Amino acid sequence: MTDLLPKPAVKPARPFFSSGPCAKPPGWSPSKLALGSLGRSHRSKLARARLAHAIALTRHVLRVPVDHRIAIVPASDTGAVEMALWGLLGPKPVTLLAWESFGEGWVTDAVKQLKLEATVLRADYGQLPDLDAVDPASDVVFTWNGTTSGVRVPNGDWIADDRAGLTICDATSAAFATDLPWDKIDVATYSWQKVLGGEGGHGMLILGPRAVERLEGHVPAWPMPKIFRLTKSGALIEGVFKGETINTPSMLAVEDYIWALEWAELQGGLAALIARADANAAALSDWVGRTGWIAHLAADPATRSNTSLCLKFAGDAAKLDEAGQRALAKRIEELLELEGAAYDVAGYRDAPPGLRVWCGATVDTDDIEALGPWLDWAFHEAIQGQD
């Protein structure tokens, strides 16, 4: 079908392109982490100070306003989203937006588990639902950046300033890569393992004043496990937002997150992180533009993610059936891993077959530029096997 290509001379220096856990920041090493809080009680003065420091740095880097509270919670981004859904939904109509696997997961929670009569606005992989169809009288649950399709909302302009409902935003692939409009966001969540290349296990829950008001004035109709409870006797448990975590955190993961936040500050903060992700995404898009066998899954460049770039096959490769395309993507991934040239570049299991390359701030643009020729090489090797 196609000729083999010679192996490219230069490999990405750091071949880490996974969409989660994502590449560690450049220069990271376990030996650089502060370990004084390990082996100590997480309620000790020292550990609480480190947890509070992680929260303060988060606020500074993400420019979270003072009236929004920030908590470190269990179970990564999923835990943070579940806490928000279980604790807040119920009193108002709910609109859920889903255009890829994770958004669809939150639909399942609200509709099948909480049994809410929700309005679900869906779109196929590669597209966004009609954001103007969102009723501002309802609570709205959405993913800012759909990691498995590479489609993100272009901005927050579709969210009404005078909304009656709450906006609950899964921002896990967007935080630290987008200037999130905090006045439009009542709840945001993310996990450390994404744009800052931290560890899994803990999530961040950011609550605006309207979300706190809801929490304090509403008793969910369903049981609330201890791990989800943010109020006691109708009042917010303020300690959770000062580093007094609900249960025991991994202080090693906390120290790793602090290191990544300090790295982010040294780069120049949020603007620098966004610029790094944008440069990486542009470098990958340049290669896509020059390459006949691959195309972006996100149809509209205005809704294209700058972190998880999802690619579909084009040309003759797109004529293979779905199983053939999945096998092709897997083979490309395997070949690149064997060469140590790139790890974890196959698309998500529930997404259309193709490739996915993480372009967040912890990836270096030189490595994205070096990746393109290797993807070409692996494609030409792998497609031979499909003939």
| Closest distance to ligand PLP from the beta carbon of 379 (Å) | 25
| Closest distance to ligand PLP from the beta carbon of 374 (Å) | 24
| Closest distance to ligand PLP from the beta carbon of 197 (Å) | 13
The residue among 109 and 367 lying less far from ligand PLP, judged by its C-beta, is 109
The residue among 253 and 370 lying less far from ligand PLP, judged by its C-beta, is 253
| Closest distance to ligand PLP from the beta carbon of 146 (Å) | 6
Burial of 317 (0-12, 13-18, 19+ CB in 10 A): buried
Q: Which residues contact 359 (CB under 8 A, 6 or more apart)?
A: 277, 280, 281, 283, 284, 305, 306, 307, 308, 309, 368
The residue among 191 and 383 lying less far from ligand PLP, judged by its C-beta, is 191
The residue among 143 and 285 lying less far from ligand PLP, judged by its C-beta, is 143
Q: Which residues bind ligand PLP (CB under 6 A)?
A: 20, 76-78, 102, 143, 147, 170, 172-173, 191, 193, 200
Sign, CA dihedral 217-239-141-64, equals positive
| Closest distance to ligand PLP from the beta carbon of 298 (Å) | 14
| Closest distance to ligand PLP from the beta carbon of 78 (Å) | 3
**10 Å Cβ neighbour count for 89?**
25
The residue among 144 and 313 lying less far from ligand PLP, judged by its C-beta, is 144
CA distance 7 to 309: 24
CA distance 118 to 103: 14
| Closest distance to ligand PLP from the beta carbon of 44 (Å) | 27
The residue among 297 and 370 lying less far from ligand PLP, judged by its C-beta, is 297
The residue among 61 and 204 lying less far from ligand PLP, judged by its C-beta, is 204
| Closest distance to ligand PLP from the beta carbon of 148 (Å) | 7
Q: How far apart are the first and last CA of the chain?
A: 7
- Bridging pattern class, strands 308-313 and 354-358: antiparallel
Q: Which two tokens stand for residue 130?
A: 């009609």
The residue among 195 and 378 lying less far from ligand PLP, judged by its C-beta, is 195
In the chain, where do the E strands start and end? 69-74, 94-98, 119-122, 139-143, 145-146, 151-152, 167-170, 187-191, 202-207, 231-232, 235-236, 294-296, 308-313, 354-358
Please give the full DSSP string across 140-185, using - where no structure is assigned.
Answer: EEEESEETTTTEE-S-STTS-TT-SSPEEEE-TTTTTTS---GGG-
**10 Å Cβ neighbour count for 327?**
16
The residue among 249 and 372 lying less far from ligand PLP, judged by its C-beta, is 249
| Closest distance to ligand PLP from the beta carbon of 270 (Å) | 19
